[in-house]
Chain A
């Protein structure tokens, strides 16, 4: 029985990793077709880095990701604080509005924002892409800051003022440091969501502005290219190092068990 269970997990792991492993393997294949192994090469990686289109898409993805994450973190943090201070009734209403984009499918979010920009006659491009990314990231920041606010010691702000801090000083010296873990994880989530997004970007960009997801989509539709293999391998390696590093540190800290909530999936 025990062996059977281990075999089952092994099979699932194989199912999940086989495509990725093959992808990485063939990114070193010195032959344009996958029909045969033409020897080891770094040719595709070189081509990848000399492909202006991909490099510029990477730049767009990173800059949009960073800007969207920073802005939505600020907006979402203050939004969460505002929500937290509201009365129960209005807060419930606001919370359900904020949760709407998370209930909606990405297609609907993307289409609805496209309609908004079209009606407002904003030229589709970098700005609309950024606005769209901010708007789908904010709910996730709110979601990760809210629990930290709820855990907040109720008299903390008053204690700071009692000791002579103005409300502003109290916020920056006491409240913000205390909810920082939530703010930071909101930032990370926003960053991942933005970098990973394809559907909303697809509907809200234009004028030749395209991020990595859109570029991959166009290339993949045209057919398989070993360059994408190389790109996938690099991204997978980066994600693997980042995530294993982060989680190993956590595992060490907490002794291995629990902390499942900290292992996050982009959705």
Chain B
């Protein structure tokens, strides 16, 4: 990658109580990139962000910002700004005073600052809100003020800690687009933390899926969505069919009691693996249809979802979720076909459904 602005190298954070929040994370972030740290709460994503912002000191490792290790620098000496989860706006100051907090600290020219405050508020869509009190703003508006307050300092890097968490769904969607636009227009690198996979996939150039203090997979949203490397990532990204399987040999995988041709190689012979099947990649046909297909089971439920139908097909203990524009009636016996390139084979991990079932954690929802 060219123009690496931030390089995180083997950063470890162990809290005073012995809890390992980050177990050696490495990540390179390029200029003008929109990188999202995605994971469930407690996965270490916020801790990583706080290390970059300077609010948490890593136990070991390096954080290189334009080649310089910034770990010894306090937050106020880093040209990095943060948008906090609950915005952390200063309640005793009005909108303009909040936005001009940074420039005023640096004793910048008042007139110039006032002009830039106006520009920033315009950028975030709050033109004319200068004199308003913080308490009189809605959640979404406070959110925008927090962004303007950070952006006015022209940081090279903006950290956003679940900034959309407190907003309702409609506003969230709006702000996702808005943030993406602001990032494009300002040309600033964004590091965005969220636990919402849809948000991560919509906005990011690259997504880092985290779990228990580790980055499990780093890639573009398309990569992550189409080729999850482990059951956890597949599950977190919203895959519905994760099936314990056996890799018979290269390009042949066995699940649901049948051998399927696939495109994956290099797992060895008769190796236990997991397979992800996207609901929309499974094609159903009536059992008596002369076309090719693996006889599978019975349609258990049928739901109309607008653009498609959602069906659950059962065979013994296996239940498969299928999305299709063609409805099959409940009770119908079906057979299914899956294209080899639509089968995503992943290494076994402790998050595999069968492993978790054995440990008594229950299956993947």
Contacts and interface: CB of A to CB of B under 8 A. Distances in A.
Assess A/B contact in the complex (Cβ within 8 A).
Answer: yes
A153 B105 contact: no
A94 to B, nearest CB: 20
Given A164-B102, A164-B106, A164-B153, A159 B88 contact: yes
Contact of A163 (B54, B55, B81, B92): B81
Contacts of B76: 161-166
Contacts of B75: 158, 161-162
Contacts of A173: 101, 105
Contact of A162 (B81, B89, B91): B81
Contacts of A177: 90, 92
B85 A174 contact: no
Interface string A165-193: 11001000110011010000000000000
Interface string B269-292: 000000000000000000000000
Contacts of A156: 88, 90
A181 B238 CA distance: 48
Interface in B140-176: 149-150, 153
Nearest to A161: B75
Contacts, number: 65
A156 B76 CA distance: 14
Contacts of B84: 155, 158-159
A174 B97 CA distance: 12
Interface string A77-102: 00000000000000000000000000
A153 B102 contact: no
The number of chain A residues touching the other chain, given as a range, is: 10 to 19
A70 interface: no
Contact of B105 (A154, A159, A164, A180): A164
Interface in B70-102: 74-76, 80-82, 84-86, 88-92, 101-102
A159 B91 contact: no
Contacts of A174: 90
A169 B101 CA distance: 11
A221 to B, nearest CB: 50
Nearest to A169: B105
A173 B76 CA distance: 14
Interface in B2-59: 53-55
Nearest to A151: B91
B55 A158 contact: yes
A207 B84 CA distance: 59
Contacts of B80: 162
A87 to B, nearest CB: 10
Nearest to B101: A163
A67 interface: no
A143 interface: no
A165 B92 CA distance: 16
B153 A153 contact: no
A174 B89 CA distance: 10
A177 B89 CA distance: 13
Contacts of A124: none
A260 B85 CA distance: 34
Contacts of B102: 163-164
Nearest to A166: B76
A178 to B, nearest CB: 6
A212 B222 CA distance: 80
A178 B90 contact: yes
Contacts of B91: 153, 178
A62 interface: no
A158 B50 CA distance: 10
Interface in B290-305: none
A252 B82 CA distance: 40
Contact of A158 (B88, B150, B153): B88
Contacts of A161: 54-55, 74-76
Interface string B242-257: 0000000000000000
A160 interface: yes
A162 B53 contact: yes
Contacts of B153: 163-164
Nearest to B161: A155
B88 A155 contact: yes
B85 A165 contact: no
A174 B102 CA distance: 12
7 contacts: A155-B84, A158-B82, A158-B84, A158-B88, A164-B102, A169-B105, A174-B90
Interface of A: 153-156, 158-166, 169, 173-174, 177-178, 180
